[in-house]
Structure 1
Amino acid sequence: MPIQTIKEVKAVLKESELSFSLRMSKFAKVGEKDAVSFIYEAKKVHFSCFSIPSSSSFEMKLGGRLIVNHAGGVLENSGLCIHRFFNYPMIPGSALKGIAGHAAWLKHQECSDEQEQRKLKEQIIKIFGSFGNETKSENAGTIAFLAAVPAKDDWKLVTDVLTPHGGNDYTNPVPSFFVAVEKGATFKFTLKKTSRAEADDLELAENWLKRGLTENGAGAKTAAGYGWFKEVTNG
Structure 2
Amino acid sequence: MEIEKTNKDIVFKYDNNKKEMIYYTYKKIHLNLKNRNNSISNLNLKINKFTKKNRLLKEYGLNINLKKLKPNLNEIINTYKKSYIYIKLVGKIENKLIIGLGGHSVIETDITMHHTYGIPYIPGSALKGVLRNYIIKKYYINDEIKNLKELEKEISEDKLFNDIFGGEENMGGLIFLDSFPEEKVKIKTDIMTPHYPNYFGSENQCPRDDEKVNPVKFLVLEGDKKEEYDFEFNLFIDKLKVNKKLSDYKKSEISNSENENKTLKEFIELNLKEALELNGIGGKTSVGYGFFSFD
TM-score by length of 1: 0.74
**1:42 aligned to 58, 62, 69, which one?**
62
Report the Cα distance in structure 2 between the residues aligned to 1:128 and 1:206, rounded to whole angstroms.
Answer: 14
Q: Match for 1:204: what amino acid?
A: F
In structure 1, the residue matched to 2:191 is 161
**1:189 aligned to 233, 244, 255, which one?**
233
Counterpart contact for 1:66–1:227, Cα < 8 Å: yes
Q: Deviations along 1:95-149, whole A, 9 cap, x unmatched?
A: 100111122123314899xxxx99x9432221012xxxxxx43222110111111
Q: Is 2:44 the partner of 1:18? A: no
RMSD: 3.3
Instruction: Mark the runs of 5 or more structure 2 residues left unpaired by the alignment.
Output: 1-24, 144-153, 200-207, 244-262
Deviation at 1:63, TM superposition (A): 0.4
Counterpart contact for 1:128–1:143, Cα < 8 Å: yes
In structure 1, the residue matched to 2:151 is none
Q: Secondary structure at the match of 2:280?
A: coil
Deviation at 1:224, TM superposition (A): 1.1
Report the Cα distance in structure 1 between the residues aligned to 2:271 and 2:142, rounded to whole angstroms.
Answer: 14
In structure 2, the residue matched to 1:126 is 163
Instruction: Mark the runs of 5 or more structure 1 residues left unpaired by the alignment.
Output: 1-6, 130-135
Q: Could you say which structure has the larger radius of gyration?
A: 2
Counterpart contact for 2:41–2:64, Cα < 8 Å: no
Report the Cα distance in structure 1 between the residues aligned to 2:55 and 2:195, rounded to whole angstroms.
Answer: 30
Q: Secondary structure at the match of 2:88?
A: strand
In structure 1, the residue matched to 2:276 is 213
Report the Cα distance in structure 2 between the residues aligned to 1:73 and 1:170, rounded to whole angstroms.
Answer: 30
Q: Deviations along 1:69-120, whole A, 9 cap, x unmatched?
A: 11113337751112233333211011100111122123314899xxxx99x9
Q: Match for 2:57: what amino acid?
A: V
Identity %, equivalent residues:
28
**2:215 aligned to 152, 155, 175, which one?**
175
Q: Match for 2:62: what amino acid?
A: A
**1:92 aligned to 101, 118, 123, which one?**
123
Q: Secondary structure at the match of 2:220?
A: strand
Structure 1 residue runs of 4+, over 4 Å off? Answer: 26-29, 32-35
Report the Cα distance in structure 2 between the residues aligned to 1:175 and 1:76, rounded to whole angstroms.
Answer: 13
1:86/1:202 CA distance change after superposition, 3 Å: farther
